Amino acid sequence: MILARRGAQSGVVSPTNWTLALVDLCPYQIQEGISGPQLLIVPALRKAVIAESRNVVRIDTKKAQYKDDRVTVNVSFNIEEAEVEPSAESTTREKISEEEFWSSIRKQSSRVHDLAKELVSFADKLGLSRRCGSGSLIFDLPLTDGIPAVQQIFFIGQRGKVRVWPETLKRQFNRSGLQMDTSTYRSAVVKAFRVATDRQEPSCRLGDFDLETFKKAVSDFVAEIKIKKED
């Protein structure tokens, strides 16, 4: 058997992926009088266990309220995105309590704990409501005049990572009739988090990004929603 490592590329840091393969090594002996190596080993692959990337597909039928009755499909292409918080309607996992959330946050560094408290205080002053998911504190924007709350403005994970789901927000706006473009919000969050500009669902650990820039991005986004709601 041969245990081979995959995924190593020049200049690229990638997770350690291993492929287990069963290989026959067939020896051949060179005939006398022929120059070159006297023994030739020819490998033949018999079986292999191939590591595959994990994709998560979420199909939303309860909220598919488009004019042509399309079903909402969301695909996440990496493990980090697969672990983010699903919507309250789609999850069957047990939700944590706020006490459990803070207990987990306190196990992180004191800086992460202080920044989490600062961010929660900011959300309260901004008028966001909060609730607990299966692993995050989720911040929603309550609206009036019969318009449903805008859910999942941002998340704080119990391990101290802050996340934003622009595409999920965009689908909410489509259903409620609010004409909102979430690309500006995503770009502002990407700038605050200092992550790749093409990141569709940006996330970053507290203490590793510019909190003031993130707070401004959230404030501007909430203000824009309220203006659109009045229109």
Report d(CA 134, CA 141) in Å as an integer. 19
Q: What is the pLDDT of residues 82-125, one digit of tens each?
A: 444 444 444 446 788 999 999 999 999 999 999 999 999 999 99
Instruction: Look up residue 68 and give its two tokens.
Output: 């042509």
Q: What is the pLDDT of residues 166-216, one digit of tens each?
A: 888 988 888 777 778 888 999 999 999 998 887 778 999 999 999 999 999
CB atoms within 10 A of CB 139: 24
Q: For the chain, first and last CA: distance in Å?
A: 68
Stretch 10-20: mean pLDDT:
47
Residue 92 C-beta-side C-alpha neighbours within 13 Å: 0
**Whole-number percent of the chain with pLDDT over 70:** 69
Stretch 12-28: mean pLDDT:
64
Amino acid 48: pLDDT? 66
pLDDT of 45 > 80? The answer is no
Task: Report domain extents, the chain.
Answer: 2-49, 94-230
The position carrying tokens 């093409």 is 198
The pLDDT-based confidence of 44 (bands split at 50, 70, 90) is confident
pLDDT of 158 > 90? The answer is yes
